[in-house]
Structure 1
C-alpha cells in the first residue's frame, strides 16, 4: 500500500475492502451474489435472444425492454467480476483508471435505465389512452430516436464524474469502504472541498431519475384514469394487467436506488454494512428481476421461451 502524508497526492491505485465488519463472511456472502449475477446474465441474454429472433416481438414495449436489458448487463458486469475477485481471492487493489471507469458506467447506465422506464411508461400511456394511433406514433424510427436520446443524455451528464474525481487529492487514505468504485464512496475519502461536485451529482440525479420518476407517476395517473373509464370490470383488469410488469420493474429498481442515494448523503446513522448491502442489491437484483418479471408475466415472451428451450418430444 502506498505511504501517505499530509500533502495532497493523487494515488495510482485504490484499495477496496468489501463490506466492513463482515470480512470473515465474504466467501459466504459471495455465493448468493454470484448466483444472482449468473441469473441476471442468463435471463437478460435469453430475453435479448428471444426478442431478436421473434419478429412478432419487434414492438415498442419489447424494444425498450431490450435497451433496458443491455443497460442492466453493463451495470451488473461492471461491478460483479471485481467484487467476486475481491471476495474469493482478496484482490483488493484497483488502478485509478479501472476504478473511475465503473463510476461512469454504473451511473450513466443507471441514468439510462431510468430513461428506459420512462419510455416504457410512455409506451403504455399511448397504448391505453390512444390505442388506434399507437403504431403510428411509436414507429421504429421514433423508438430508435428515443433510445438514442436516452443514451446521449446519460453519457453527456455523467461524463464529467470521472474527471471530477480524478482531479481530487486523496491525502488521507486510498482505502475505499465499498465493494466497488462509486461516486460518493470516493468523494468521502477526498481531502478537498467537494461541495460543487456533490451539488453537480445532486442536480444530475434530480434532472434524470427525479424528473423521470415524476413523469412516470404522471403517465400512470393518466393511465389509471383512462382504465376506469372502460365499461367492464374484465376490460379494466386486462388493461391494468398490461402495466403490471412495468410497475413491478419500476418498484424493484427505484426502491433500492433511492434508498442507496438517500443513505449515502443523509443516512449518517445507517450502519455501513446495511448501506453496502443495499448498494449491491441495487446493481444486482433489478438486472436479475427484470427478465424474470417480463418473462413470466408476458405471455408472448413466456410462450417463445418455452418453445425455444423446451426439449423436443420423442417420436413413438
Structure 2
C-alpha cells in the first residue's frame, strides 16, 4: 500500500475529514485553509507521542488513536479555545491494514467527541510515533494564559486526579484489578476527555490556566513562575481518583495525583467572586488552594503547615525535583 492510498483509505475519507465552519480547505492540497472572523485569534498546539516513551508498545491501535488526539486537544481547553481542526503526522514501521483501521477508528471517535476536523498531515516510514497539531479559535484577547494569576485568587482543578498514573501499574507492571477499577483507570490513560467546555466557560473569568499533563505540582509551578506569584495547594483538598485509591491506597494515590501527570484536567486560578456560579455549572471542579505572594508551589497539611514537596513532574531530558 502506497502513501497516498493509505491516506485516502484511512484518513481522507474519514468522517472527521469532512470539515466544518471555519475549514475552507482540508485534505488534498499543499495546505489547509482556515477562515477566522476579524475579531478572533487562532490557537495552535503540537504534541508528539513516541512508542515506549508516551505509550506502551504493543497496544491497541484504536485506543492509541483516541489518546493521540485527546492529549493535543487538551491544550486547546487550557487556552479556552473552541476546537477547529487538526493535522496528523504518522510515522509507521509498516503499513498494516488492521492496525491502520483501528487507529483511524479511534481517531474518529475522539475527533467527534471534541468537534475537531482532520485537515491534513503526513505519513512516513520509521519507528512508531505520532505528531498531532490542533487548531482552535477564540475571541481576540480572551485566551487563557499562565501569566496573569493574582494574589487572592482561588486555585482550582477540573476534577479527580491520579487515575492515568495509577493505570501504569496495570499497563507496565501487570497488576491485577477488579473490572470496574481496571476500566476506569485504563479509560483515564487511553481516552482522557479534554475539558473543552470548561475552558470556554473560563474565558473572561479565570486569571490563569493550563492543562495538567506533567503533574499537578509541576504544572502549578508553571503558573507560579509565569505569573510571579506562589501557589498554595492544600494536600487534603486535592481530589483523588477513587479507582486509583482503591488500587494503590490513599498515600500512593495521593502521590499519583500530585506528581503523576497525564490527567489532562484543567488547573486554573480564579477570582473568588466567580466561584459560586462555576461550582454550579461544573460540579466536578474543586478548590484546592489559593494564590499568595512569593514564588513557587507550597504544599500544605490540614493545619496549613508546609509539607516537603515530592518529586514532581516528568521531563524528557532530566528529573524535576521539588
TMscore range, shorter length: under 0.3
Q: TM-score, normalised by structure 2?
A: 0.27
- Structure 1 or 2: larger strand share? 2
Higher relative contact order (CA 8 A, sep 6+): 1
Normalising to structure 1: TM-score of the pair? 0.28
Q: Which has the larger radius of gyration?
A: 1
